[in-house]
Amino acid sequence: MRQVAIVGAGMTRFAKHLDRSMKDLTREAVDACLASSGVDKNRLEAAAVGNAMAGLLTGQECIRGQVVLRDMGIGGIPVINTENACASAGTAFHLAWLYVASGLYDTVLAVGMEKLFHRDKSRSFAALGSAIDVELMEQTLADMNEATSDGAGTSRSLFMDFYAQLARDHMDTYGTTAEHYAKIAAKNHTHGSLNPHAQFQTPRSPQEVLDAPLIADPLTRLMCSPIGDGAAAVVLTSADTARQYTSQPVYVRASAVCSGQDHQPHEPGISQRAAQQAYEAAGIGPQDLDVAEIHDASAPAELMLYEELGLCPTGDGGRLIDEGVTALGGRLPVNPSGGLLAKGHPVGATGVAQIAEIFWQLRGQADKRQVTGAKVGLTENGGGMLRGEAAAVTVHILSV
């Protein structure tokens, strides 16, 4: 396998873009990406395009990538559409990496895009709720605590109820508190205030997070990622080709995609397995990371991912946030972009947006949210829910 590099990245601001089409948003991200890389669109040999919800919200199915790219004059090349719930864009990046690493192509575009806002918000929540085994939907709702399941999937994302249950379980087992989750949310909202691409750019205190409206105990609104619209893109090339375009390539050290499987409670879950594959491929461990962007669809999800990614021992996630390890200025900043909680979560765009953030961090181009001296970064992007854990997870490790 050849060494692969990222030479350019671009993204829109994640926000409520009711007046903009997915073509318009994707054009902005791709144009910015190509301009930053110096790669002409005619040099692209293939494209992988991630999207999760367009079929349910706009009716556009089957050829989503071809539709948006043709509109900006990119055609005649293989365009692969990836749909993998919230891991759609991370999966698109994995395919783009594989195309270059295998030697099949030298220059490939990876795109993530989503229009999740709809004037009828219940349609957005229903679309999100489709990322489970729908044949078991009624049983899934029945299994939830009745105090938290009311309104799940209609007035809020069904996934917040999953996260609420996981949060309560972690509290019962390890003594984690709602204050720990509030500290994570406050951290990410404060990071987001430094990011011009973020949907929410207001710094928050832990008390403000706790005082926000309750969504599903113990989750308040500020502990839950918002829905959003947006797009992100990166250009990948072989390491040899990269030097034609930039003196600052960012190398892809590892790219892993895992699906969930039935396993015993003591056996590694999907995020642990994906991370281990990535660490082994990159020849590093979690102690070698300088920065990470991870899937904080809720504040408790980030805390549990600290443990699943090996950033701390199981049960010690609360200690990590208490000690400020994962905040800007700490030993290992996590979600300096603001994460899904503040940057936003247009689900089909999130994975590539995470990669764009790490690309900028490793090149020293993250402005006020820059992690000093960052050389190695990780992204983790999960999607769907099946039998108690994510259905799909992607982990990527990048370095300079």
Distance of CA 114 to the CA centre of its chain: 13
Q: Out of 86, 224, 258, 312, which one is annotated catalytic?
A: 86
Catalytic residue among 94, 118, 345, 396: 345
Q: CA-to-CA distance for 4 and 115, rounded, in angstroms?
A: 30
Alpha carbon distances (Å) from 276 to 178, 273, 314, 382: 29, 5, 15, 15
Strand runs (DSSP E) across the chain, as ranges?
Answer: 4-11, 46-50, 79-82, 107-115, 214-216, 219-220, 229-238, 250-259, 291-293, 376-383, 392-399
- Whether 263 is catalytic is no
Q: Which of 54, 368, 35 is closest to 197 using CA atoms?
A: 368
Task: Using DSSP, state whether 152 is helix, strand or coil.
Answer: strand
Distance CA 399, CA 249 (A): 9
Query: What 3-state class would DSSP assign to 228?
Result: coil
- Reduce the DSSP state of residue 187 to 3 states and report it: helix
Say if CB 359 and CB 234 are below 8 A apart.
yes
- Residue 224 bears catalytic tag: no
Q: Which residues are catalytic?
A: 86, 345
